[in-house]
Structure 1
Amino acid sequence: MGRKKPDATYLRQPVNQVWREYSWRQVGDQARRIAAALQAMQLSPGDRVSILSRNCAHWLIADIGIMMGGFSSAPVFTTMSPDDVRYCLDHSGVRAMFVGQADNWKLVRKDLPPGVKIISLPDADVPDAHHNWDSLLKEHEPLAGNPDRAPDDEITTIFTSGSTGKPKGVVYSFDGARHIVRNIGQTFRLHEDDKFISYLPLAHGFERGAVGFMSLATGSSIGFNENQDTFGADMLEVRPTFFQCVPRLWSKFQESVLKSVGGQESLNSLLLEAKSAEATRKRIRQSLGLDRARVLLTGSAPTPLPLHVWFETLAMPLCEIYGQTEVLSGTCNLPWDRKPGTQGKPMVNTEVRIAEDGEILIKARAAMERYLHEPEKTVETVVDGWVHTGDKGELDGDGFLKLTGRVKEIFKTTKGKYVAPLPIESRFSANPNLEQLCLIGSGLSQTVLLVQLSAQGKAAEAEGLDLELAALTTETNRTLEKHARIAALIISKEDWCPENGLVTHTLKIKRAALEGRYRAMAEAVLADEGVSTNAPRVLRESGLQEL
């Protein structure tokens, strides 16, 4: 697209809700100047350069400049703890780092590796920066020629969430990136007229591949979300055609819609009337900024089936996807080939099979080269070209994949039988009062469900909510084998967050940390002779601690 239509808009960036537009020509010019600036800093070919910033136009321009200059990127998350950022910077040996608006920068800056050159992005307050973006553009002429990189050159290191320990550095080559965009692009039939909105972290694998890399391959344009408060307005401005989302946000959309129409009964009435049904659906899609969206993705966690059904009534089919940082080409549902409740079929040029122990294996050239500085883990994870995902699943007769849990998360109670927590947790995930869930039970006489309430749950009347959750637990127990049934549900008194170490920076639960914190409490509850899976108790952490 940059060569075909150099003056067409590529990136759109809101600053105080005033939208700036950057053409392909302007992006190319700035990227070439940044590439020249990095080379002038005496970096060696292949050196790694980090990016710490919220998603923005200059995040991507910096990334392109890093590629053009002969270097590799190793971005870190704005939600990471300072310790994890320092670990990632040390582990990847970065020589320079672009810093933009980042909530964790004030803490991160206190403990940086020696010798790392800091480059401030536009519209960011980085007082200790060695270099300023705008100054570098003025000081350096654009890098000449047609920068070319070998297929096996390293393009990036993407860090995992670190849910089971320190984040792992997942290394991709340029050839791997080429296969990522080929597989995803062909699967979803993406083209230059598609429009993306970038709001999920660009340091994350899927956003980087399906939005960042993809836009370069297809010539699609990207609009950026300025911040959480402007998300709704930014959606209305960008009106994406390809939209990637997580289940919890789809639930937030649902809550917003129901609030706007006066509740579920009111919506049902509008959809029952032939004259108002289509107009209602159109109005709702427009209000969400999704009136032009032809692909609506949901992923990162299983999406409750009732949520799929609800959006289907609005002619908004959610397409659930599955993959991981190590292989950015997994499975997906498509608007024209989907089965709600599954993670879909293999993407183009991707093979999926189930090992004898139930583990999901994926083979695709859109996979990592290796784990950075961890050859033993690389050999354990990639065997004969098959990525061992660590997830357990099943393929049905139509070729759709369904997740059933994690290989290492399955545990035994004292009854000596295994319990897979994910399918049980999924039974509760559709409840809008619950934000996070973690089933524990290793070495316990019965399982115990730990929950964090959502904003709606916190606002609910406590006694009524406790009765509702007790009924839901009882109903769920009827579907479970005796050894897996839940004896108690414990409501945490505080949110699970990266700061207290109970979730990762990408908000994935840390099961070991949660079990360590709540195990003694669970043991005390189960020691009560009155506790029974026939009448499971709902308890609040604050009350238990008072006892």
Structure 2
Amino acid sequence: MSSIPSLLRDRIAATPDAEAYRVPSDDTWVSMSWREVGERVRGLALGLSGLGAGPGRRVSILCSTRLEWILADLAVLSTGAATTTIYPSNTAAECAFVVTDSGSTIVIAENDEQVAKLRSVQKELPDVTHVVVVDGSSSDDGWVVTLDSVSGGEGDYDALVDAISQDDLATLIYTSGTTGRPKGVELTHDNWLFAAGSVREIDLITPDDLHFLWLPLSHSFGKLLEVVMIDIGVPTAIDGRLDRIADNLGALRPTVMAAAPRIFEKIHNTVVATVRREGGIKLRIFEWARETGIRVSRARQREAAVPLTTRVEHALADRLVFAKLRARFGGRIRFFISGAAPLSRDVAEFFDGAGLTILEGYGLTESSAGSFLNRPESVRFGTVGPPLPGTQVRIADDGEILIGGRGVMRGYHGLPRETSETLEDGWLRTGDIGELDQAGRLLITDRKKELIKTSGGKYVAPTHLEGRIKAACPFASHVFVHGDRRNYVTALVTLDMDVVRPWAEAESLPADPEALRGHPRMREEVDRAIRQVNADQASYATVKKFAILAEDFTVETGELTASLKIRRKAVEERHAETLNAFYAD
């Protein structure tokens, strides 16, 4: 096949009546077959074509994760146009930048709230001829039309699909912009077909699985999952509402789910904080079970035999603790997939010991999201696994990871200088520092641009420390390690109030974050975690001072990107007074 729409067409021909998607409807879930998906996509593609979508054009999607996002994406691609993705959390100004920079002429918006954003900057969108709203009403001036009214156009759908080349632009995804203005990453149909085919080749997921998708489809990780499931023919249950994840897991009982590390950290921290609050025999049993599970996990990673006594202990720990944890996820999870940010090894080993293995992977938007992935039979936590089939890797003299292969982007939209700086002789400069182990698995040390160099000339990897502190302190939401050109390392810690509040109430402590952050008991909990992490760090890499903040980092304050990565410069600027106070002496 030469395009994503032709891949879909092949899937429909192969398994027309098999379940494709499952979506929430009132208190139940409704299934849709691949044949029904094809009919919906065909009608919407012809309708969008009638509005002007076609080869060389771009259509933006401003919508949360839901079935209509996927149908709209497949329909846009079927016209020969390319999809530009926009996070629904983006501000009106950020939306306007992406729409105008990409040259989008149509925007598909989720609801009236998103339409209102576009209306507020309409003068900045002179090339946008129509806004197609999923849940909303059309406007009197004709600028806004409904998705239902667009669906059902007439024309030769197959001719549109046949005209698409594998080298045609399929997607423009704007990078998070942790260090500057977002750049539009140009990904072709061939990029996505290669990435999806690489996942299929390792026989990780089968049509017998049930995939639960809630990740943002605006992110390259979510987009890759969309194409992978079409390629393999895996049914996918879709619901992007974060507050429904726990309930959905219980109702759906999926076998596969992908998530960002923050989800696993939050589950881990909630469990740990709950048993600590209960104390007594429950806490002692939990700590024993966790240590037993980690021993088993580490033996598996070494491919060593697990002693009989440990196996017996682990079976008891499973019955008393781990089986209950697996039940929270529906009881059928074969594995999780983690990506988009580093996963703490401590958290990964805890889950693995509980029978919930997390396969950490790695890729950039610029490499079509999927370049490396741990395999269930040879997982090694702390690494992101070996390359996926067809992906090439080199480690530069300065330690930078270079990626080659068909998954590498075409370039940055309208930015030839930045493209030439990032692509060198066909190799993608990732900006990450790493090394390969003897089995060819990739270990990422840190972001090249984010390494801290203390005034003493020592390099410190901040994200490594941040992940370990979060794993050691169940009350932490985010940790920011600071110390570039300073004489020692310090940290800012934000609180996860969903976890902290029940503990604070049980301990008769103030529940207000401002009052709680300076309380000796709260500082003692954070200090204990930092001392635990410091114990096995070189002196120059230990955190000497810390402050607890009253407010968490958020996308709205500019301290997090839309994909929840910390914007380091923004945090440093916003909390400059606190950071400078660490070094006042």
- Tell whether the structures are fold-level matches, with TM greater than 0.5: yes
1:381 is matched with which residue: 417, 422, 428? 422
Aligned to 1:299: 339
Distance in 2, Cα, partners of 1:302 & 1:23: 36
* C-alpha displacement of 1:167: 1.6
Deviates more, 1:348-357 or 1:459-468: 459-468
More helix by share: 2
Deviations 1:422-447 (A, max 9, x none): 23223312021111122222333322
**Any residues of structure 2 matched to 1:31-430 within 5 Å, and which?**
31-101=41-111, 106-112=116-122, 113-116=125-128, 117-121=130-134, 124-125=135-136, 128=139, 130-138=144-152, 140=154, 143-145=157-159, 147-148=161-162, 149-209=164-224, 211-225=225-239, 227-254=241-268, 259=274, 263-267=282-286, 272=313, 274=315, 277-278=318-319, 281-289=322-330, 291-327=331-367, 328-430=369-471
Deviates more, 1:408-417 or 1:171-180: 408-417
Tell whether the 8 Å contact from 1:79 to 1:103 is kept in structure 2 after alignment: no
Tell whether the 8 Å contact from 1:78 to 1:102 is kept in structure 2 after alignment: no
Aligned to 2:582: 525
Distance in 2, Cα, partners of 1:68 & 1:200: 23
Q: Matched residue of 1:158: which SS?
A: strand
Distance in 2, Cα, partners of 1:428 & 1:474: 9
CA pair 96-298 structure 1, distance change in 2 beyond 3 A: same
* C-alpha displacement of 1:60: 0.8
2:23 is matched with which residue: 13, 18, 38? 13
CA pair 102-21 structure 1, distance change in 2 beyond 3 A: farther
Deviations 1:473-509 (A, max 9, x none): 3444454444443331122221211221111122211
Aligned to 2:7: none
2:476 is matched with which residue: 428, 431, 434? 434
Deviations 1:21-56 (A, max 9, x none): 222222111211111112212344220001111111
* C-alpha displacement of 1:282: 4.5
CA pair 183-102 structure 1, distance change in 2 beyond 3 A: farther
Distance in 2, Cα, partners of 1:474 & 1:276: 28
CA pair 273-13 structure 1, distance change in 2 beyond 3 A: closer
Structure 2 letter corresponding to 1:396 = D
Deviates more, 1:507-516 or 1:294-303: 294-303
CA pair 188-454 structure 1, distance change in 2 beyond 3 A: farther
Aligned to 2:547: 490
Q: Matched residue of 1:22: which SS?
A: strand
Deviates more, 1:19-28 or 1:450-459: 450-459
Gaps of 5+ in 1: 529-547
Distance in 2, Cα, partners of 1:402 & 1:102: 45
Distance in 2, Cα, partners of 1:492 & 1:355: 39
CA pair 109-195 structure 1, distance change in 2 beyond 3 A: farther
Distance in 2, Cα, partners of 1:383 & 1:103: 42
Does residue 527 of structure 2 align to residue 451 of structure 1? no
Aligned to 2:520: 463
Distance in 2, Cα, partners of 1:178 & 1:295: 23
Does residue 527 of structure 2 align to residue 514 of structure 1? no
Tell whether the 8 Å contact from 2:111 to 2:133 is kept in structure 1 after alignment: no
Deviates more, 1:400-409 or 1:465-474: 465-474
Tell whether the 8 Å contact from 1:36 to 1:140 is kept in structure 2 after alignment: yes
CA pair 524-484 structure 1, distance change in 2 beyond 3 A: same
CA pair 229-17 structure 1, distance change in 2 beyond 3 A: farther
Q: Matched residue of 1:361: which SS?
A: strand
Distance in 2, Cα, partners of 1:136 & 1:275: 59
* C-alpha displacement of 1:16: 3.2
CA pair 398-444 structure 1, distance change in 2 beyond 3 A: same
Tell whether the 8 Å contact from 1:33 to 1:141 is kept in structure 2 after alignment: no
Identity %: 29
- Supply the RMSD in Å over aligned alpha carbons: 2.6
Aligned to 2:516: none
Tell whether the 8 Å contact from 2:20 to 2:33 is kept in structure 1 after alignment: yes
* C-alpha displacement of 1:94: 0.4
Aligned to 1:543: none
CA pair 43-224 structure 1, distance change in 2 beyond 3 A: closer
Tell whether the 8 Å contact from 1:329 to 1:364 is kept in structure 2 after alignment: no
Deviations 1:370-390 (A, max 9, x none): 111111111111112211110
Distance in 1, Cα, partners of 2:269 & 2:458: 39
Tell whether the 8 Å contact from 2:386 to 2:440 is kept in structure 1 after alignment: yes
Deviates more, 1:441-450 or 1:347-356: 441-450
Question: How many residues of Structure 1 are paired with residues of Structure 2 in the alignment?
Answer: 524
Structure 2 letter corresponding to 1:120 = V
CA pair 269-379 structure 1, distance change in 2 beyond 3 A: closer
Gaps of 5+ in 2: 1-10, 293-312, 510-518
CA pair 391-96 structure 1, distance change in 2 beyond 3 A: same
